């Protein structure tokens, strides 16, 4: 997989939410299997033996792409994703001279699932890219951002780091957004930003000359980078880390990105059903509890992967 610097236009206007019937068709469940999944969730015993709020075992590998500034591979059950980070020097946006820029782009490999072939894969890639951008970078103003954009500035108004974060879905068995969020957090933990020395003497509108080190790197600070917890509603209950079969039975899903400090960095919703504000508050409370477990698990896996990478 190559890290690339493609700037995608938002394709949200073209995205149609998948109806339950089309998802069911894709997953190919019989009526009996459908009732089995729904009944198990109602009784807090899912098809794979998990409780409603239990995530699948996570596997993390870092430094998987040598030409990137940082990269990671994350597996959650049969869902397998890769994220890589490429840092390039650019110019800050005139409206935000004190901030760097982050661009998130996701590709769904056509071999990952039959539904990813052709237009289906393009639509899902665009939907995931936009959702990740929202979950990681908060509002358009940058408020609530899980990635500190001000840390990417080299010279205010003149030079900044642009981070291009690429995600690839290798295989899919549900919960892609959360898996990609975990892979991005792991890839950012693995990211080294080259040290930049700025030559003195540039004045006014002149672009200062810079010397980018190829030996000294600054570790990217991921202490506030969130994880994403998606609560998927099936029947009357919410589950986390849904499989593809479980997602085919959902009426809606709410994805909440929360960092170690308990701050909510972003929130997105899929599915047509409306939500009462009190229910959203309850979902946020559940997501916070699950996020603590996920962050602790992920951080220990990242530390182990980094230690293993250093030894090899």
How many Cα neighbours within 13 Å face the side chain of 120? 13
**Structural domain for 36, as ranges:** 20-311
Q: Which of 50, 142, 136, 39 is nearest to 99 (CA)?
A: 142
Residues 224, 237, 248, CA angle at the centre, nearest 5°? 85
In a domain, residue 94? The reply is: yes
In a domain, residue 109? The reply is: yes
The helices-and-strands tally (H runs, E runs) of the chain is 6, 12
- Map residue 151 onto helix, strand or coil: helix
Residue 108: is it exposed, middle or buried by C-beta count within 10 angstroms (0-12/13-18/19+)? Answer: buried
Residue 27: per-residue pLDDT: 55
* Cα–Cα distance, 61 to 75 (Å, whole number): 9
195 Cβ contact list (under 8 Å, min separation 6): 212, 213, 216, 217, 218
Residue 20: per-residue pLDDT: 38
Residue 297: per-residue pLDDT: 94
In a domain, residue 220? The reply is: yes
Residue 274: per-residue pLDDT: 74
In a domain, residue 41? The reply is: yes
- Per-residue pLDDT tens digits for 185-213: 999 999 988 888 887 766 666 777 777 77
Residue 159: per-residue pLDDT: 87
Q: φ, ψ for residue 224 (rounded to 5)?
A: -110, 5
In a domain, residue 8? The reply is: no
Residue 1: per-residue pLDDT: 46
Where on the phi/psi map is residue 203: left (φ > 0), alpha (ψ -120 to 50), or beta?
beta
Counting as low any pLDDT under 70, the low residues of the chain are 1-27, 139-144, 201-205, 273, 309-312
In a domain, residue 12? The reply is: no
Residue 75: per-residue pLDDT: 96
In a domain, residue 276? The reply is: yes
**The domain spanning residue 59 has which CATH number?**
3.30.230.70
Residue 111: per-residue pLDDT: 77
Which residue in this structure is represented by tokens 């990137």?
Answer: 68
Residue 139: per-residue pLDDT: 61
Residue 158: per-residue pLDDT: 86
Domain count, the chain: 1
* Cα–Cα distance, 267 to 265 (Å, whole number): 7
How many Cα neighbours within 13 Å face the side chain of 288? 11
Q: Which of 257, 162, 259, 159 is nearest to 206 (CA)?
A: 159
In a domain, residue 7? The reply is: no
């Amino acid at each position: 997989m190559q890290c690339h610097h493609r700037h995608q236009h938002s394709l949200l206007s073209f995205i149609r939410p998948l109806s339950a019937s089309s998802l069911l068709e894709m997953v190919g469940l019989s009526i009996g299997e459908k009732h089995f999944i729904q009944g198990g969730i109602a009784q807090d015993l899912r098809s794979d033996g998990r409780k409603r709020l239990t995530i699948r075992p996570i596997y993390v590998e870092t430094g998987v792409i040598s030409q990137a500034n940082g990269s990671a591979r994350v597996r959650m059950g049969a869902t397998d994703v890769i994220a890589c980070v490429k840092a390039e020097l650019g110019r800050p946006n005139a409206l935000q001279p004190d901030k760097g820029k982050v661009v998130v782009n996701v590709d769904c490999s056509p071999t990952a699932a039959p539904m990813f072939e052709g237009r289906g894969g393009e639509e899902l890639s665009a939907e995931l890219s936009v959702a990740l951008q929202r979950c990681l970078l908060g509002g358009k103003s940058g408020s609530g951002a899980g990635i500190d954009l001000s840390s990417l500035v080299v010279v205010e108004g003149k030079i900044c780091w642009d981070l291009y974060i690429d995600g690839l879905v290798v295989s899919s068995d549900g919960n892609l957004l959360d898996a990609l969020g975990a892979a991005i957090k792991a890839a950012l933990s693995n990211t080294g930003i080259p040290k930049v020395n700025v030559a003195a003497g540039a004045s006014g509108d002149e672009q200062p000359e810079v010397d980018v080190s190829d030996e000294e790197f600054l570790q990217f600070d991921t202490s506030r980078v969130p994880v994403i917890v998606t609560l998927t509603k099936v029947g009357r209950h919410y589950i986390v880390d849904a499989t593809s079969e479980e997602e085919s039975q959902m009426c809606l899903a709410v994805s909440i990105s929360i960092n170690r400090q308990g701050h909510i960095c972003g929130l997105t919703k899929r599915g047509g059903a409306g939500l009462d504000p009190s229910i959203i508050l309850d979902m946020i409370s559940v997501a916070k509890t699950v996020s603590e477990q996920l962050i602790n698990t992920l951080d220990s896996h990242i530390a182990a992967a980094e230690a293993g990478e250093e030894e090899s």
